[in-house]
Structure 1
């Protein structure tokens, strides 16, 4: 059974990640996000909560990076998938270093341009997707249809 780490920030990123659950059927899925209350939405799956942080809160960001690194190292997923933002960037980078396949699905909210986080993962995401056809380029992200 393939082990997947599905990780995102809270709010809309989390909602979008949950909408992908049917794609994970038959896999051992580990979820990670910023709100402990989200655990009940994925009952029956392993769940991790980490510090919520942005690039403007340096200390919280450092704590989040450490926590996400520990999750990835502890779980050793075969696939890391994220809908954003900063925690997904960290998880994809560490996952890639450990040999995982990496998937980044840029937020559906990014209608006019890809996200800053998406730009940061393009060099090490095995699959970088956008949900907006007009944002797809030869260098990435790819458009394979709107899933949300």
Structure 2
């Protein structure tokens, strides 16, 4: 089983790192938007991609092209992300490559699901919130990754 684990900088990355025990027994390929984060997962493959968002469409397009190349090289079976926009792009690309896709919404989104999560829940195989009151038929609550 090969897992592509992707997150943007900041809390998204920290929360993704908290999920590492769930990847035990799998080959993991990490992706983030900051090259120096590779040092935090030095025993695993790591790729840095461009950062982008709805305000930075050029960066987002560059990230999509980089992710496409990573998917062609690595052929992951599972894609898991804690966000944000580059993770959402990985969910879409993962679906094209027939990978199982998992979105874990950030714990920072305590009042409503993030915009990216609202989109991800339409396409991802599994979607999780870290707040019980935000769960519904498509978005599950199974606890949180930051305590």
Distance 1:125 1:42 in 2: 25
2:61 is aligned with 1:51: no
Distance 1:125 1:57 in 2: 23
Distance 2:113 2:59 in 1: 25
Shift of the alpha carbon at 1:144?
A: 1.4
Spell out the pairing of 1:3-18 with structure 2 (5 A cutoff). Answer: 3-18=2-17
Paired position in structure 1 for 2:74: 75
Paired position in structure 1 for 2:121: 122
Distance 2:101 2:92 in 1: 8
2:100 is aligned with 1:107: no
Shift of the alpha carbon at 1:146?
A: 2.1
The answer as to whether partners of 2:80 and 2:103 remain within 8 angstroms in 1 is yes
Distance 1:146 1:64 in 2: 28
* TM-score normalized by the length of structure 1: 0.95
Q: Extract unaligned runs of 5+ from structure 2.
A: none
CA displacement 1:19-68 (0-9 Å, x = unmatched): 00011111100000011100110011000000111210121121111112
Paired position in structure 2 for 1:144: 142
Number of residue pairs matched by the alignment: 146
The answer as to whether partners of 1:4 and 1:28 remain within 8 angstroms in 2 is yes
RMSD of aligned C-alpha atoms? 1.0
Spell out the pairing of 1:25-64 with structure 2 (5 A cutoff). Answer: 25-64=24-63
**Structure 1 stretch 49-58 or stretch 39-48: which is displaced more?**
49-58
Shift of the alpha carbon at 1:147?
A: 2.8
Shift of the alpha carbon at 1:105?
A: 0.2
Q: Runs of 4+ in structure 1 displaced over 4 angstroms? A: none
Shift of the alpha carbon at 1:134?
A: 0.3
